[in-house]
Structures are given as structure tokens and as C-alpha cells.
Amino acid sequence: MKVLSQNTAFGGMQGVFSHESEACKGEMTFAVFVPPQAIKEPRPVLWYLSGLTCTHANVMEKGEYRRMAAELGLVVVCPDTSPRGTEVPDELTNWQMGKGAGFYLDATQTPWAEHYQMYSYVTEELPAFVSQHFRIDMSRQGIFGHSMGGHGAMTIALKNPDRFRSCSAFAPIVEPSTADWSIGAFEKYLGEDKAAWRQYDACALVRDGARFPEFLIDQGKADSFLDNGLRPWLFEEAIKGTDIGLTLRMHERYDHSYYFISTFMDDHLKWHAERLA
């Protein structure tokens, strides 16, 4: 593990690290905030998945999570959103595809499949690696994210209900298989057979029988992507008749930015902490 930076914050440590990833066939960067309580005992962990065009740095620099994470004793791990490097395929003029747009799935199509194995990386390789280097109680895991990362968090929770105790999202893409800004990526990563897309679609997973106890979703009503990309009401409709709980909060005047995320970050951390206690 390479240490790229380490800084003291709120009595804890905010670090940025990298390692060679077998899943993504290259060096991957991730951020970890370790609260001061971890000096004495392993602490619960929250995985934060970022959105399109982002890296680990966006939430680390703008998310304003450290004060509350330190108070609650939560480790916060922030992976990158895709593989990186000169050998990694990309579409330079398409922000919805390639680097910064891994969609937290395992690609099956050429040339993407060799490196774009973000589902395996986030659910298997990175947790195994991080647990070796930090004082984490892996029996208490929660996951949350923003936009594409909200999509990732929800699908990962639905597919791994025995691993995660809590899941929340800021402005998630709840049905990427029908959203304008994700259809193209899904087709290139997974092929034309839309049956293969369902395992990475929260609404489809619920319809196919996947279950998770409850979700918290915050969404800004002034979000310019609300009607074409996000559409949280579709998930609200999909869970009707199931035992899945949903707290969906729609906020006047808030957009898709980190001003929105940072406003409600404390609420999400407290919500997770209650379920990870």
C-alpha cells in the first residue's frame, strides 16, 4: 500500500492511499478517514461511492463528513469511480463512459472487461485489502453514495443484504437501464441483452426478488438531472407490496452538487450510525 497523503482531522486521520488491483488490472486510489476511537478498538465502516466524473477526492474535499464521522466513531472509505491509467480504455469526449464512469459493475464486453471490474473491486478486493490495514469491524458495514454512486450503493446492498446493515443515497440513479445518461454505458459495458443489465439496476433487482430492510434517499427538487436520470419515484413504485422500507425526502431549491450533499451529510451519518451500533 502506498501512502499518498495523511492529515490529522477532528482527532482522526484522513489518508489517501493506492495499491495494485488485481480486479481492475492497475493501480487504484482510495481515501480512508479513521476516527479517533479506532486507536482503542475496531470501528464500523461506511463505504461512500461517488458519482460520474468524480474520484475519491470530491467527497473528501467537499462532503464535510469528518467532524460527524469522528464524533460517531465511523471509518469512511471512499473508492475511486473507475480504473485509471494510460492503458485503460476511455471515451475522452463522453463523460458518461469510461474513466470516472465505472457504474460499479463488472463489464463483460471488449475492450472494457479487462479493467472495468468495479463491482468486484468494491465488494471483494478493496474490503479485503482495507481490513488488513485499518482497525475496522467488518461485521458492521454500511454503504451510501451520490448519483452513479447512489445507484452503486443501492444495487450492492440489494445483492449483499447479509453484509450491509444500512444503505442510503443522495440523488441516486434508481433505474439506470432506462435512464438517458446510463443506457449507453450499460450497452457498451454489458452488451445489448438487457437481461444482463438487471443485476445492476435497483428497481429491476427488487422486481426480481432482491430485498434490503430499508433505504434513506435525499433528492433535490432543483436537480437538473431529476426527470431524465434519477427519478426516485420509480424506486418508490418498485417497492410497493414488499417489506422494504423507504424514507424519501424531496428538498426544495437543492440541486445535484456537493452543496446539497454536504447539507444532509450529517443526517446520513447519524442514520447509518444508529443501524451500525
Catalytic residue among 90, 106, 201, 223: 223
SS3 state at 182: helix
Catalytic residue among 21, 50, 82, 147: 147
256 is catalytic: yes
Q: In the numeric block, which cell numbers belong to residue 42?
A: 475496531
Catalytic residue among 115, 151, 256, 272: 256
* DSSP structure string for 218-231: EEETT-TTIIIII-
* DSSP structure string for 20-72: EETTTTEEEEEEEEE-GGGGTS-EEEEEEE--TT--THHHHHHS--HHHHHHH
21 is catalytic: no
56 is catalytic: no
Backbone torsions φ then ψ of 44, nearest 5 degrees: -60, 155
What are the residues whose beta carbons fall under 8 Å from the beta carbon of 128, sequence distance 6 or more?
none
Residues labelled as active-site residues: 147, 223, 256
